[in-house]
Amino acid sequence: MQFHPHRSYKAVVIFALLGGLAGVCAGDSIFFVDGLAVDNLEEGPGGETGTVFHAELPGLPLKRPPRRPGLYIHNTDRKRAVRGRNADHLKKADQHIRKGEWNKARLEIEAALNVDPDNVYLLRRAAALSAAAGKYAAADEYFRRGLEKDSKNARFRVGWAAVLIRMFRFDEAEKLVERALEIDPEYLPGHFNQTCLRVLKGEDLSQLRKSWEKTRLEELQMVAGWLGGEGPELRAVMGDDGFHSFCGVVLGEGTLAHLDAIRKGIAEVLDDLRQENWLAAAGGLKRLRALGIHHYDLELKRAISLQEAGESIGALKVLAPLRREYPDDPAVWYDTGYVLTKMGKYHYASLAFERALKIAPENPNIRFALACAYAGEERMDDAWKILASLVEHYPKRMTAWMKGEEPYLQRIREDSRYPELMAKAAAR
């Protein structure tokens, strides 16, 4: 299938000459993701992140509100880069970045590269800053050099692909993205660029939308930022109709007119979830839905927020269409069982957890939840088969699982086998 870009080369050239993203904050540029141009905006637990298309199964009870969307990275060659004269260049570059002065920051990094030309850390920053400043030819070269030094770096490949898209070199960009997603299948910017290329190709939009249905709320916040911050550049490549279609695929139909409200709304919801302001979170999620965000993760979070706010019937109403749409998703059945357990509907909770367990038979949270539902039904022998297995494989979790005063936990504690169970947990 061939690419069908909007052939407004003049617009792209003008953007390059004007400096591209000169008025955009770092969070709005795909070139600033995972530390391509800047270091961690937030310190994380280490390791790299970029999860997409995965739903976590929350513990029982739900006490794990979502983390802040940080940029968690490993900084290759950073220690070497900040030595000697380069430390001053990097300090000045960071000061320019905070002011949105990409070109001045780029010049400081280039001065550091003159001292240490093969430093991967400096190359990735030079590449991203050049791209953000609209210096695509320079960015093209820096990404090429960086990839020569670090051939398995998915971030380099995706960043380079974003530059090539803006240079109308779509076939090269497609190859880079495909290889990047082979290296890191869950990397969000890779999926963003891949979808952009597929829209340019004229692929079936309904199929493309399905690949974005399970994007997490934290990631949708980032996507809305990219669409807002890089909208003019992407419009220049894709045309108004193409960009409108792209926005509808990754974020939702009708969302293009509400990007600022969506970003603000998601930020407020995430804060409410972290602070366990459940009713406010449920209201914010409902407002996001009215703005066009109909993603799976939003609805799961809305259901659990309603449940934690004491609105169990409302939670079940939200979960009902999710069960019809995603009958093979364990999280939907797990959350249904969770709500029913809290309502004391233990028989129906057991059925929901059993369905979840058939889909994800090794998940310990589902297994423990099913044991709780069985205990609620007073099926203690069935519950104990599960608990005895869990204590063998997850002894350290047992104490945390058993915290609380819920009726089903009390029934487990009242069983004559409970002291032996916890003794085994403590001994392992």
377 located within any domain = yes
309 located within any domain = no
User: Is the same domain home to 240 and 110?
Assistant: yes
Dist. CA 374–CA 102, nearest whole Å: 60
148 located within any domain = yes
Is residue 222 over pLDDT 60?
A: yes
302 located within any domain = no
80 pLDDT band, cuts 50/70/90, is low
Q: Which of 27-31, 70-74, 323-327 has the lowest mean pLDDT?
A: 70-74
Total number of domains constituting the chain: 2
Domain boundary among 208, 224, 251: 251
User: Is the same domain home to 154 and 6?
Assistant: yes
Strand, helix or coil for residue 314: helix
User: Is the same domain home to 59 and 207?
Assistant: yes
Q: Which pLDDT score is estimated for 116?
A: 87
Average pLDDT on 150-169 reads: 91
151 located within any domain = yes
User: Is the same domain home to 164 and 69?
Assistant: yes
Q: Which residue has the higher pLDDT, 155 or 30?
A: 155
Is residue 394 over pLDDT 60?
A: yes
Domain boundary among 206, 232, 251: 251
Q: Which residue has the higher pLDDT, 214 or 382?
A: 382
Note down the domain range covering 214.
1-251
State percent of the chain over pLDDT 70: 80
Burial of residue 8 (number of CB atoms within 10 Å: 0-12, 13-18, 19+)? middle
Is residue 168 over pLDDT 90?
A: yes
Q: What is the pTM of this model?
A: 0.77
Domain boundary among 251, 283, 312: 251
Q: Which pLDDT score is estimated for 31?
A: 64
For residues 161-178, b (16+ Cβ closer than 10 Å) or e, as one string?
bbbbbbbbebeebbebbe
278 located within any domain = no
187 located within any domain = yes
370 pLDDT band, cuts 50/70/90, is very high
Dist. CA 182–CA 193, nearest whole Å: 14
Residue 61 preceded by cis peptide, ω within 30 = yes
